[in-house]
Structure 1
């Protein structure tokens, strides 16, 4: 086979390229298999037609085909990428090379036209371009992070909105400057910046938290990530730097640490106070009990007769001792509660039984003061789940307080029942009442309203504090309802025995 025949066979067999010839006026002279596959025409359908048939109407209208042939004639060839049209009217993105063909005398005899379909490549490139554009737009629009590029020497190469907001620089003020502008002078002097880039180069990234500097000189606590960027050949082309302002978070963490420290100090102080109160209470009870014993011996006249006047003195001594012992017991109980040393034996408790027992204890005190102690409604079937001894202690504290603050001739009432299905004990009096602004403070330790040097209201002010703590420890609560001049009503609620 002659060389020309072999060449024709080669061209005709190519499927990936449309290869065909045009006469000097642009009419088609030949058609290979690749042209048929790419453009959709069979040879008999297209040979003899002008090659403008492959161009969009808008390109034909502006003379694009004429210009291409003129350039090829003048320069020997023309290359272009653009939209072309298939037989079915669909468009594809093509790379086109038109080469002028001349005979041995230099006379133009036509053109060789080679077309390749680049639609898939262009789609991929366009998708990549759009992706990069979206990413660039996204990065530029991010305001919570400073995201920017550094060149291999550490100079700023890009700048987003977050970087402007966090660091204070406009893009034109910072691009081209070294990123040392963001670091405290001590870090720069210590070679910290070179260390960060060296780690990023060696390990791929560098991350830390530390102080950074804004344009105005103020410092902020930042999380910083530096990532080394390399091209396909592995050559370092720069760094991506992401910075986040964590100043508020760091301040919050420091506040949490300070708060935890203060809480620990308060707990330690409270524990120390409770331990002190417990120790003092134990130390005080010993001499008090001893003096009570000696008073008993004197009353028994073991050491000799006791006069009527001396009997009166012993009575006063005993009264003072009993009062002091009550104070010591209150302090001891409070210190035990504060220290969490009180144990509870939770069982079904009859509130009727508890109220009956305590009323009997308080009755002598009420009679001595000329106060009517009234037994209010208290059905026997009201059962709570609580500690019987602690329940009686609460009721005793409330009744004793009521008797203490109710004037002679007044009335104190104790009863039990339910509130919305919850068992409760109520203690009410006809005393002076408690002003609204003081109703919360009366449950605080060592608070006793109306107390003065001449009031005659003795005590530690711990009774209500102890009672509320005991009630809460058993899953209950103590509430108060009072109006000045109209007395007060305390209600103890406890979990029901279901």
Structure 2
């Protein structure tokens, strides 16, 4: 026997449906507002049983304040005349607690006669709390952005129209929000930048790379210019659709002027020091060559007078003067680092041992001459003749510092550098010449490699010897330093890059003058990087963007290092690096960025194939990456 559903009328079915709904309070009011029906949802929300509330006026669900203001009667009147009443507000449960309700009241007519009202109430307290929290957060954010006066912070539409404007933007650029909202942000650029399409390039770069950052001139409302640091970030929704851009602009005119003033001061100081050195150089050359020319001139006068019987001693004096002039010329070339070198790979122990006899004869008998040469010394690439001259010069200086005798030590060893001020980390050959002589003060030690600086008596030295040694060692890609204490002697320490090559010709660029291409769109940073690499002994090329860099590479295929910023217009440093790696595989690549590596990986993808340094540049970090 099958179960049969009882036959129900439509009204009975509707009553069953409404009475079973628990998420909405659905009930009827008569024309005066008294409750005439009550469902399970109404009982759950408001706490009244049906027999407790049917026949009661619905105003009891309103707060005392709403009752005093006549809100319940106004709601019924609005529903009757407008066909519906809808609102949100506080309502009161049986236990006196309140909840935030969404209320809809519809009039019920029998033809033209009002029978009553259908009322639907929903408890949306949780939604109101979330909405209020969001509103408060947005309000706090607006207050924060509007309270910032040192930065212009505003939004752009995807097309570049300004959509809001903070107090900082008004202060920096001079426009009120009503004057600028809805206009294109290109109005803040200079006319040449607009013609070059810089505003559009900025948005395109931000959309493509995840950020655009630059510095440049911007224009205020009154037409005056200021130097701005600009950051543009794309704003996307959860699906990745571009909603617009967030733009932050800061007036850094004063900082730029301060940096330029500092650079001008440094340049003036450098020029002053250079002129002082030139003055010393000129005076020394004039003194020495005047003496040499006097010998030759006097000799010629004697020859004129004694043409029939020339004294051989006169000719010898003239020859010595000529030789001395040639030697002085070689010293000047060494100081200027323009000596023609003939480098080859040597074990310097073999060179030192080969002219040990010369070194021993150069010192007094009262000086104990010793050598301590490492048995496992690595090779290095050096000009043999110039190296021997440099060591002899140091030995003679050490001898002169010990007029009453002492101990002189020539020593070699292998060293590994990490963090040297002027040399890249790695393996080096160290040659030291130490004495136990008079030593020198710190002030003197800092000047010993200057041309024509000498502590010897007049006529005892030109002051070019150590300048020659310094020029030769630096030209060879190494470094020389002195450590000394008055009364305790001095140690001259030469460092030369170790080689894995056997005896023979040195590889290309053994003179230490490799070529670097610096790619940086910010002129001040480009100048700084150029100065750093020049101090490391590099020949420097500079390009302002990736396209110019590739053009330079086509004309200079022997570039050894490409040092590039990451964030640049037209072409990023990552894109440039990949082209260089493909087309110029022998060039080393070092990239620089102010962004942390995780952010760069997120924006650029897999970039671990390249060496990176962080901005601001540190010399030790550049050396480490180059190594």
Bin of the TM-score, shorter chain as denominator length: 0.5 to 0.7
Structure having the higher Rg = 1
Change beyond 3 A, Cα 1:96–1:65: farther
Select which of 70, 93, 96 maps to 1:67: 70
Change beyond 3 A, Cα 1:429–1:322: farther
Q: How many residues are treated as equivalent by the alignment?
A: 405
Aligned ranges 1:123-202 → 2 under 5 Å: 125-126=131-132, 128-143=134-149, 145-148=151-154, 159-167=165-173, 174-177=176-179, 187=191
Select which of 396, 403, 409 maps to 1:415: 409
> What is the Cα deviation at residue 214 of structure 1?
3.7
Select which of 366, 370, 373 maps to 1:374: 366
Select which of 403, 406, 424 maps to 2:432: 424
CA distance in 2, matches of 1:185, 1:394: 59
Q: Deviations over 1:50-103 (max 9, x none)?
A: 646645xxx2x4462893444357666565421335679875432334578899
Query: Residue 442 of structure 2 contacts residue 484 of structure 2 at CA under 8 Å; is this kept in 1?
Result: no
Bigger mean CA offset, 13-22 vs 95-104: 95-104
| TM-score, length basis structure 1 | 0.57
Query: Residue 106 of structure 2 contacts residue 117 of structure 2 at CA under 8 Å; is this kept in 1?
Result: yes
| 1:323 aligns to 2:324 (yes or no) | yes
Query: Residue 102 of structure 1 contacts residue 109 of structure 1 at CA under 8 Å; is this kept in 2?
Result: yes
> What is the Cα deviation at residue 443 of structure 1?
0.4
| 1:362 aligns to 2:367 (yes or no) | no
Query: Residue 35 of structure 2 contacts residue 53 of structure 2 at CA under 8 Å; is this kept in 1?
Result: yes
Secondary structure at 2:343 match in 1: coil
CA distance in 1, matches of 2:485, 2:231: 61
Q: Deviations over 1:101-154 (max 9, x none)?
A: 899998x98665332444566456445534532442343234454235799xx9
Q: Deviations over 1:387-419 (max 9, x none)?
A: 67665433310233456788xx75475224699
Residue in structure 2 matched with residue 442 of structure 1 by the alignment: 448
| 1:35 aligns to 2:38 (yes or no) | no
CA distance in 1, matches of 2:67, 2:127: 24
Select which of 469, 480, 484 maps to 1:481: 484
> What is the Cα deviation at residue 18 of structure 1?
2.8
Residue in structure 1 matched with residue 395 of structure 2 by the alignment: 399
Q: Which has the higher helix share?
A: 1
CA distance in 1, matches of 2:374, 2:451: 31
Q: Deviations over 1:349-391 (max 9, x none)?
A: 279847843334425xxxxxxxx44342625565555667665
Q: Deviations over 1:142-170 (max 9, x none)?
A: 4454235799xx9998541321442356x
| TM-score, length basis structure 2 | 0.47
Q: What RMSD, in angstroms, separates the aligned Cα atoms of the two structures?
A: 6.0
Residue in structure 2 matched with residue 294 of structure 1 by the alignment: none
Query: Residue 353 of structure 1 contacts residue 380 of structure 1 at CA under 8 Å; is this kept in 2?
Result: no
| 1:244 aligns to 2:246 (yes or no) | no
Residue in structure 1 matched with residue 17 of structure 2 by the alignment: 13
CA distance in 2, matches of 1:187, 1:163: 20
CA distance in 2, matches of 1:325, 1:73: 117
Residue in structure 2 matched with residue 288 of structure 1 by the alignment: none
Query: Residue 31 of structure 2 contacts residue 115 of structure 2 at CA under 8 Å; is this kept in 1?
Result: yes
CA distance in 2, matches of 1:415, 1:48: 118
Residue in structure 2 matched with residue 280 of structure 1 by the alignment: none
Change beyond 3 A, Cα 1:373–1:132: same
Query: Residue 398 of structure 2 contacts residue 434 of structure 2 at CA under 8 Å; is this kept in 1?
Result: no
Residue in structure 1 matched with residue 423 of structure 2 by the alignment: none
Residue in structure 2 matched with residue 369 of structure 1 by the alignment: none
Query: Residue 349 of structure 2 contacts residue 373 of structure 2 at CA under 8 Å; is this kept in 1?
Result: no
Residue in structure 2 matched with residue 311 of structure 1 by the alignment: 312
Bigger mean CA offset, 421-430 vs 434-443: 421-430
